[in-house]
Structure 1
Amino acid sequence: MGKQVTEMLKGTLEGIVLAILSERPTYGYEITEWLRDQGFSDIAGGTVYALLVRVEQRGLVDVEKVPSEKGPPRKVYSLNAQGREYLEEFWRTWSFLTERLEKLREGGS
């Protein structure tokens, strides 16, 4: 990934992770693997884990510890009502920005 993509991704990764969690509860490693499968190969697991801690502290997700066959219990994250509201706002903001950027790209004002 180029530096510009990395910088843009920093501003949107939280929304992307919340969108993943809106589909189903999951854990950090699985989120990281999904992102890599989608072409975000430079995303470090630590980045995702730090983001999950932040959204947990902000009350956007619920966390359940689930026993793991390999090692300590896994923290499974699921989007709660507050997180869904935040994600809806993220998508409204995303739509607003992409519409304006597309106009700009097409040379309109």
Structure 2
Amino acid sequence: MTVDVGAQLRKGVVEFCVLGLLEREPMYGWQLSDRLVKAGMIASIGTLYPMLSRLRNQGLVTAYDEASASGPVRKYYRLTAEGDAQLETFRLQWGPFAATVHDLVGKDES
């Protein structure tokens, strides 16, 4: 049985990538999806909306409607204070975690 390592790694961090993008600016779903697909973090927009729903239920993001000059009203997502705190916790743990994993599985380059 072959394990899709990339999928397992993405699964663990993609929600924090969404929080990181929303920390920069509020975004609507298609914007988020485009950025995440281009970065190889999700396969399609279909995986984004269930994730946004979970993040909203956890109180990490909120949504609001905004008129669009180029079409229908768009639902924008933004980070909440709780989401910001969760993202900061992730950042504090990510560096040491990644370094530990590298120490355990990395090859000596000597």
> With structure 1 as the length reference, what TM-score do the two structures score?
0.83
Of Structure 1 and Structure 2, the greater strand share is in 2
Paired position in structure 1 for 2:26: 25
Work out the CA distance in 1 between the residues paired with 2:41 and 2:82.
30
Give the residue type in structure 2 aligned to 1:80: T
Q: Is the 8 A contact 2:42 2:48 kept in 1?
A: no
Give the residue type in structure 2 aligned to 1:90: F
Give the residue type in structure 2 aligned to 1:19: G
- The offset of 1:67, in angstroms, is 2.3
Moved over 3 A (4+): none
The CA RMSD over aligned residues, in Å, is: 2.0
Could you tell me which runs of 5 or more consecutive residues in structure 2 were left unpaired when the two chains were aligned: none
- SS of the aligned residue for 1:65 comes to strand
Alignment partner of 1:37 is 2:38 = yes
- Aligned-residue identity in percent: 29
Alignment partner of 1:70 is 2:71 = yes
Paired position in structure 1 for 2:12: 11
- SS of the aligned residue for 2:71 comes to coil
Paired position in structure 2 for 1:55: 55
Q: Is the 8 A contact 2:37 2:43 kept in 1?
A: yes
Work out the CA distance in 1 between the residues paired with 2:57 and 2:24.
21
- The offset of 1:58, in angstroms, is 0.8
Work out the CA distance in 2 between the residues paired with 1:14 and 1:41.
10
Q: Is the 8 A contact 2:10 2:41 kept in 1?
A: no
Could you tell me which runs of 5 or more consecutive residues in structure 1 were left unpaired when the two chains were aligned: none
- The offset of 1:49, in angstroms, is 1.0
Aligned length: 104
Gap change, CA 1:97 and 1:80, over 3 Å in 2:
same
- The offset of 1:87, in angstroms, is 0.3
- The offset of 1:44, in angstroms, is 1.5
- SS of the aligned residue for 2:48 comes to helix
> With structure 2 as the length reference, what TM-score do the two structures score?
0.83
